[in-house]
Amino acid sequence: MSAAPASLDDRLARALAPLLEEPARPALLAVSGGPDSTALMHAAARAGRDRFRVATVDHALRPGSADEALGVGRLATELGLVHTILTWDAPRHGSRIQASARGARYRLLTDHAAGIGAGLILTAHTLDDQAETVLMRLIAGSGPSGLAGMREERVLAPGIRLVRPFLSLSKADLVAYCEMHRLPFLRDPSNTDERFTRARLRRLLPLLAEEGLNAARLARLAVRAGRDDAALRQRAEAVLSEITRTDEAALRLDGLRLRREPCAIVLRVVDAALDTVAPAHEAPVPKRLERLEALVLDALLPALAEGRALRRTLRGVLIEADGEGTIRLVAAPPRRARDRRR
| Cα–Cα distance measured from residue 172 to residue 43, given in angstroms and rounded to the nearest whole number | 16
pTM, to two decimals: 0.84
pLDDT band at 286 (very low <50, low <70, confident <90, very high): low
Confidence of residue 247 (pLDDT cuts 50, 70, 90): confident
Architecture per CATH, domain 3-221, reads as 3-Layer(aba) Sandwich (3.40)
Sign of CA dihedral 94, 96, 101, 104: negative
Q: Is pLDDT larger for residue 144 or for residue 1?
A: 144
User: How buried is residue 333: exposed, middle or buried, by Cβ count under 10 Å (0-12/13-18/19+)?
Assistant: middle
CA angle 180-183-185, nearest 5°? 120
Length of the chain: 342
Residue 336 is predicted with a pLDDT of 58
Which positions ≥6 away from 24 have C-beta within 8 Å?
Answer: 51
Is 65 known as a binding-site position? no
> Rounded mean pLDDT of 268-288?
78
Spatial strand order of the sheet with 244-246 comes to 244-246, 251-254, 326-331, 317-322, 309-314
Q: How far apart are CA 40 and CA 46, in angstroms?
A: 10
According to the annotation, is 115 in a ligand binding site? no
Question: What local confidence, expressed as pLDDT, does residue 2 receive?
Answer: 44
Instruction: List alpha helices for the chain, DSSP H.
Output: 3-20, 35-48, 65-78, 97-116, 127-139, 144-147, 171-180, 197-210, 215-243, 255-258, 263-277, 289-293, 301-306, 335-341
Q: What is the predicted pLDDT for the residue at 337?
A: 46
Residue 29: CA count within 13 A, CB half-sphere: 31
User: Is residue 305 over pLDDT 60?
Assistant: yes
Is 316 annotated to bind a ligand? Reply is no
Instruction: Please answer whether residues 175 and 191 qualify as being in contact, where contact means their C-beta atoms are separated by less than 8 angstroms.
Output: no
Of the pLDDT bands very low, low, confident and very high (cuts 50, 70, 90), residue 3 is very low
Task: Report the side by side order of strands in the sheet with 27-30.
Answer: 82-87, 52-58, 27-30, 120-122, 160-163, 153-157
Q: How would you classify the pairing of strands 251-254 and 326-331?
A: antiparallel
DSSP result, 23-89? -S--EEEE--SSHHHHHHHHHHHHHHGGGEEEEEEE---STTHHHHHHHHHHHHHHTT-EEEEEE--
CB-CB contact of 313 with 301 (8 Å):
no
Return the pLDDT at 20.
87
For residue 80, say whether it is annotated as part of any ligand binding site: no
pLDDT at 172 over 70: yes
Q: How far is CA 318 from the centre of its chain?
A: 27
* pLDDT greater than 50 at residue 176: yes
Percent over 90 (pLDDT), the chain: 69
Q: Cα separations (Å) of 90 from 59, 100, 104, 132, 214?
A: 9, 10, 9, 28, 38
Q: What angle do CA 128, 234, 300 make, to 5 degrees?
A: 100
- CA 1: distance to chain centroid? 38
Does position 289 have pLDDT exceeding 80, yes or no? Answer: yes
- DSSP class of residue 92 equals P
Domain ranges of the chain: 3-221, 247-341
Q: Is 71 annotated as a binding residue?
A: no
Q: How much is the pLDDT for 22? A: 77
**pLDDT band at residue 21 under the 50/70/90 scheme:** confident
More confidently predicted of 119 and 94: 119
Q: Does the annotation flag 37 for ligand binding?
A: yes
Higher pLDDT, 253 or 333: 253
